[in-house]
Structure 1
Amino acid sequence: MAEERRRRSKRGDGDRLGADILDAATELLVETGSAEAVSIRAVAQRVGVTPPSIYLHYADKGALLDAVVGRYLEQLDDALRAADAGAVTPLEAARAQGLEFVRFAVENPEQYRLAMMDPSDSASDVDVVLNNAAFSHLEETVRRLQDVGFYPPGDPRPIALRMLTIVHGVASLMVAKPFLPFGDEFEYADAVISGACLGLALTAGMTEPPDGAEALQLVRDLRGD
């Protein structure tokens, strides 16, 4: 078992113990599929320490789960940066980031549920999502798209939030309903993300998106009908 394999931290080795606690909490979350199972007692047992030792590093279970989310978002940002490293254009970078966001969610479903699908209890939960490095990286990509004229100039955050809404929609559906007939899930994700990026480019600067006959004419003009 993981708790039997884990080497007990040396007395006074606080940084290592803190990392062990975070590892154990993440393992419990992944193995059980439930944040409810990540109790202070269960984490302490897995690490091989007493429950009071956990409180020296995390004030309560909520703080520990917040740390699990924080680590996930840091790892997500690393994955996004690696994914778009070879992109030639900002649009290629946006597509690569969107696909990596979905892939990372599908490969880490329990962490994704906790980070992005649990209801928010306070504004601080919103801050965790919007002020983390992964979202900042997405905002920077929007700025690059604005610089080349793909998106209209202005504050990149509203457009970045729309992009987050799109990729989160794909990722959460694949995590929650993995047996839907997606076909190749990443080809499916790429088609949705690519279409949404183009749709945002056409509507981001509009005060009211076209509807009815105007929308139909716009589509026909784009297709060359």
Structure 2
Amino acid sequence: MVKSRSETRAHIVETAARLLGDDGAAALTIRAVAQAAGLQPPALYRFFEDKDALLDAVAEHVFTAYVAGKAVAEDGDPVEDLRAGWDAHLAFGLANAVLFGLLVTPGRTSPAAEAGLAVLRARVHRVAETGRLRVPESLAVDLIHAAGTGAVLTALARAPEHRDPGVADALFEAVLARIVTGAPVPPAAPAELAKLTGAERALLAEWLDRD
């Protein structure tokens, strides 16, 4: 059965992603990918300008699959859901160092990365809905995103045996202390609370949390 152009391109990207995961970045050559995909090397240039373009496509493919699995919990503690998202982000970055570097390149636009940010915004919004967010949602998202990116890049800068997981844990706790109050707003007077803005609920939560 003859594959369409889009099917052939997808096959190449999936093959390259598998090679990258199995053998590392050094194994990802045009010749190796073509051979593994059952194609002649010149055929790949009909789909990708060069190896960097192929890597970009692989990064988008792998991260899209990762984001698709990042479901936002509809119940349970939203702060713990934030923590789970943080842990998943670190695990992905450390397991996909080359791709992570591509995805966080300044100025690079990635639909998959934007989808990942949308998931983070949804998680932060759940915290805000409980009245536990002490800063605007946009600031909370930026702080978590910046800290998460920095935590992964800091870890990747060290050899695996010299990485201290406590650094990322401490960074997350510092961000959490900055953006989240210690206790949710009590469920009393829901009609009155419903009239408050997110910022007003966060301020009320901060007052209630004070000793």
Question: Shared fold (TM-score greater than 0.5)?
Answer: yes
Partner of 1:165: 146
- The amino acid of 2:173's aligned partner reads S
Given candidates 128, 144, 147, the residue that maps to 2:126 is 144
What is the CA distance between 1:131 and its match in structure 2?
5.3
- The amino acid of 1:23's aligned partner reads E
Would the alpha carbon gap of residues 181 and 152 (structure 1) be closer, same or farther in structure 2, given more than 3 Å must change? closer
Identical pairs, percent? 24
Is 2:103 aligned against 1:115?
yes
Bigger CA drift: 164-173 or 49-58?
Answer: 49-58
Partner of 1:197: 176
Does the Cα contact within 8 Å between 2:151 and 2:167 map onto a contact in 1? no
Partners of 1:42 and 1:62 lie apart in 2 by 15
SS at match of 1:80: coil
Post-superposition Cα deviations, 1:74-120, rounded to whole Å, max 9, x if no partner, equal 13213432xx548612211111100111122223333323333xx43
Partners of 2:2 and 2:87 lie apart in 1 by 44
Would the alpha carbon gap of residues 72 and 132 (structure 1) be closer, same or farther in structure 2, given more than 3 Å must change? farther
Does the Cα contact within 8 Å between 1:79 and 1:100 map onto a contact in 2? no
Partners of 1:131 and 1:158 lie apart in 2 by 18
Give the root-mean-square deviation of aligned CA atoms: 3.2
Structure 1 length-normalised TM:
0.65
What is the CA distance between 1:24 and its match in structure 2?
2.9
Is 2:89 aligned against 1:98?
no
- The amino acid of 2:119's aligned partner reads H
Is 2:116 aligned against 1:134?
yes
Post-superposition Cα deviations, 1:147-201, rounded to whole Å, max 9, x if no partner, equal 22222565x333212101112222222233122362xx3x664443133211234
Residue pairs, 1:1-225, within 5 angstroms: 10-30=1-21, 31-34=23-26, 38-81=28-71, 85=73, 88-116=76-104, 119-120=105-106, 123=107, 125=108, 127-128=109-110, 132-152=114-134, 154=136, 156-177=137-158, 178-180=160-162, 182=164, 185=165, 189-201=168-180
Post-superposition Cα deviations, 1:29-65, rounded to whole Å, max 9, x if no partner, equal 342435xx64434422332212343244334434322
SS at match of 1:132: helix
Residue segments in structure 2 that go unaligned for 5+ positions in a row: 182-198, 200-209
Does the Cα contact within 8 Å between 2:17 and 2:62 map onto a contact in 1? no
- The amino acid of 2:13's aligned partner reads L
